[in-house]
Structure 1
Amino acid sequence: MTRRQTMTRLAIATAVGFSLVGAPPASAASRDFQFTRFLGEQQLAHQLQYAGTTVGGLSGFDRDPLTGTWYLISDDRARFNPARFYTGKLDINRRTGAFTGVHITGVKTLQRPDGTPYPGIGLPESADPEAIRFDKWTRRLLWADEGDRPNSTELTIPVSQPGVRWIDRDGKFLRELPLPANLNNTDAERGPRRNGAFEGLTFSPTTIAAVAEGPRFEDGARPTLERGAPVRINVWGRDGEIRAQYAYPVDALPATPIPPTGSGGGGVSEILAIDDNRYLTLERFSIAGVGYKVKLYEIDLRGATNVLERDSLASGDAYQPVSKRLVYDFDDLESPIQNLESLAFGPRLLTGECTLVIGSDDNFDTRETTQFLAFAARGC
């Protein structure tokens, strides 16, 4: 273990009272998700080369519980190589919980229906891969594409629709889930903003859910220092039929840019089901002069209003958003906060604790890191 890893573990233990020896007993009266201990941090080398590709931009991952294989999707849009996903292995000891390594073991290109790779950024029908999930029932993969569209500074970008697409484990296109019309990208101030469509994806026992990163134009402004913003969680049945949309209240901007005229923004970067009603969400902000600010929440869909038929969340009748509870503020980490975008359960430990792995997208930037953080938890 490196000195930084040791310091990180001590910082977490001090901040939230975790035991580094064993997990506290679970409360029979509470099903709240909660961390019990920090298991370790691992990183991949910057621009690691594997099978003729550049590893980076990892924006989502998931694990096959039968084989232990991890699937990791890159949001590289042909800057280095065509849109793709990797397979890998994470070394987590089920007896001790020690997290000791990350290894890339394979790579596959994401294919369009005609079998060709997706075009690069700025071209028609380009893809922006942001999340991937392994379906233990069909042993196939599902991935989320944010699509693309023009904005006020890049007027010539063609519209590419977001999507949630089934593929096999070789990357072959199988089919696509129906997209609600209110989440179509457009070339006007309607629908999702650029880089504001599907960012997170998950399976619950009976449904599929995907969350938009930011608010649609019709749903209001992006988060500011004074107020947050609503984004939409879309829920499909396992049969592929759209069931509902729910409003998720993103926090206000958590810090002032430096200088105050600098940029700052963010939203939901991943979602992970605990059961049919409870989910974990990552809220991730990037703020000029400050860096990344990230929090982990537990949310509950029960009692929330179905807003599928509502064109605007900024006007009209009142609605009830999903409830949310803070699980962890990553400011408590001594290790510098990275661009955290991935969230998945690892193996269950012999103590009965589940493991949660959180990963970062390094944006292929030398100033950033491909980071994996592993925690043990209860309530999952």
Structure 2
Amino acid sequence: MMKFQDTTVGGLSGIDRDPRTGTWYFISDDRWRYDPARFYTGRLDIDPGSGAFTDARITGVTTLQRPGGGPYPAYGKPESADPETIRFDAWSGRLLWGHEGDRPDATHQDIPVSDLFVRWSDRDGRYRGGLRIPANLSLTDADRGPRRNFGFEGLTFTPHGIAAMVEGPRYEDGEPPTVEHGSVTRLTLWSRDGRPQAQYAYPVDPLPAAPIPAGGAADSGVSEILSAGDGRFLALERSWIEGVDYKVRLYEFDVRGATNVLSRDRLADGARYRPAAKRLVADLGRYSTPTQNLEALAWGPRLRTGECTLVIGSDDNFDSRETTQFLAFAARGC
């Protein structure tokens, strides 16, 4: 594993860029199995003339501080942190990051409840407040609310506020995806001062392949989102399927015309609502073999042709069989 300033580099599950300095921020989803919750700074060298992507490097590391100071507790302890997504705020110069939360389930009965959150941080890691989380996203130790490992994975600034998405369905919103059916997850919108304003249902695809052997493990949901304008977003739908490996697709979706479900506790059992509309942009398995665990999505520098660069990154899970990878694309309509 790569080491940097006495930390283990890996699990890079969220990225973003300061457009003024070109500094990139990379958040690690290490829950202090190796080192305290942290983010890295670095560079991704993309030539604005040719579009050539020539280098990726780490230049700094910062420990995230809990309210009152000090690092977040380690995995399995109350109020531990599982960082999954990060954004740089050009208005304030601060960072906003999301914690997936943790809770007990049938196979992890001794894990304490650690509520998911979205919090502000200075660039030196100091805590600077957080968003108000809707009650329907509170974690519990019962079969209600978000499932374990289905908390916040996606976060983005919109033209007028903030948006975050939980990875998969709450207990009250239906079962996780299978090859026979998809599921729904929730996108929450906040005002800039952190007040919840709306929630929309996002339809997650059925599993793109069946596990091998039949009945094997699978995990599928939304691993990151990115604003593409008023009401429009990009979403990474990432699946890991036993015997198949990773499958990742990039979608554009639009919440304009969708039903605001913020006040609705249940979306399963025939509940009537209109989900966000979505369209497939790309099957990302076309661009890399094998497909990696793609979890990060950010706008890079604009090219001289007028196109934006879209950067997609992978979380290596601190596993020697996987790799940290960055893919860069030219994109229009951004």
The answer to whether the superposition gives a TM-score over 0.5 is yes
**1:161 pairs with one of 115, 122, 127:** 115
Question: Equivalent residue for 2:191?
Answer: 237
Question: Equivalent residue for 1:18?
Answer: none
Q: Distance in 1 between matches of 2:131 and 2:20?
A: 25
Question: Equivalent residue for 2:128?
Answer: 174
Question: Equivalent residue for 2:294?
Answer: 340
Tell me which amino acid in the other structure corresponds to 1:116: G
Question: Equivalent residue for 2:307?
Answer: 353
Change (3 A) 1:334 1:87: closer
Q: Could you report, residue by residue, the CA deviation over 1:19-44 in whole angstroms, capped at 9, with x for unpaired residues?
A: xxxxxxxxxxxxxxxxxxxxxxxxxx
1:329 aligns with 2:283: yes
Question: Equivalent residue for 1:3?
Answer: none
Scaled by the length of structure 1, what TM-score is found? Answer: 0.87
Q: Could you report, residue by residue, the CA deviation over 1:110-152 in whole angstroms, capped at 9, with x for unpaired residues?
A: 1001111111111111111000000011110000001100000
Alignment of 1:284-299 (within 5 A): 284-299=238-253
Question: Equivalent residue for 1:314?
Answer: 268
Larger RCO: Structure 1 or Structure 2 (Cα < 8 Å, ≥ 6 residues apart)?
1
Secondary structure of the 1:331 match is helix
1:187 aligns with 2:149: no
Q: CA deviation at 1:207?
A: 1.3
Q: Distance in 2 between matches of 1:373 and 1:223?
A: 27
**1:303 pairs with one of 257, 268, 272:** 257
4+ runs deviating over 3 angstroms:
none
Q: Could you report, residue by residue, the CA deviation over 1:144-190 in whole angstroms, capped at 9, with x for unpaired residues?
A: 00110000011110000000000100110010100101001100001
Q: CA deviation at 1:317?
A: 4.1
Say if 1:207 and 1:276, in contact at 8 Å, map to a contact too.
no
Alignment of 1:127-146 (within 5 A): 127-146=81-100
**1:87 pairs with one of 7, 23, 41:** 41
Question: Equivalent residue for 1:120?
Answer: 74
Secondary structure of the 1:370 match is coil
**2:176 pairs with one of 208, 215, 222:** 222
Scaled by the length of structure 2, what TM-score is found? Answer: 0.99
Secondary structure of the 1:114 match is coil
Say if 1:161 and 1:185, in contact at 8 Å, map to a contact too.
yes
Q: CA deviation at 1:333?
A: 2.4
Tell me which amino acid in the other structure corresponds to 1:304: A
Q: Could you report, residue by residue, the CA deviation over 1:301-330 in whole angstroms, capped at 9, with x for unpaired residues?
A: 100000001010003641000000100002
Aligned length: 334
1:362 aligns with 2:308: no
1:374 aligns with 2:296: no
Give 5+ residue unaligned stretches, structure 2: none
Q: Distance in 2 between matches of 1:180 and 1:327?
A: 30
Q: Distance in 2 between matches of 1:331 and 1:53?
A: 31
Q: Could you report, residue by residue, the CA deviation over 1:53-103 in whole angstroms, capped at 9, with x for unpaired residues?
A: 110000101000000000000001111110100001000000000000001
Q: CA deviation at 1:205?
A: 1.2
Tell me which amino acid in the other structure corresponds to 1:315: D
Q: Distance in 2 between matches of 1:69 and 1:192?
A: 34
Tell me which amino acid in the other structure corresponds to 1:251: D
Secondary structure of the 2:325 match is strand
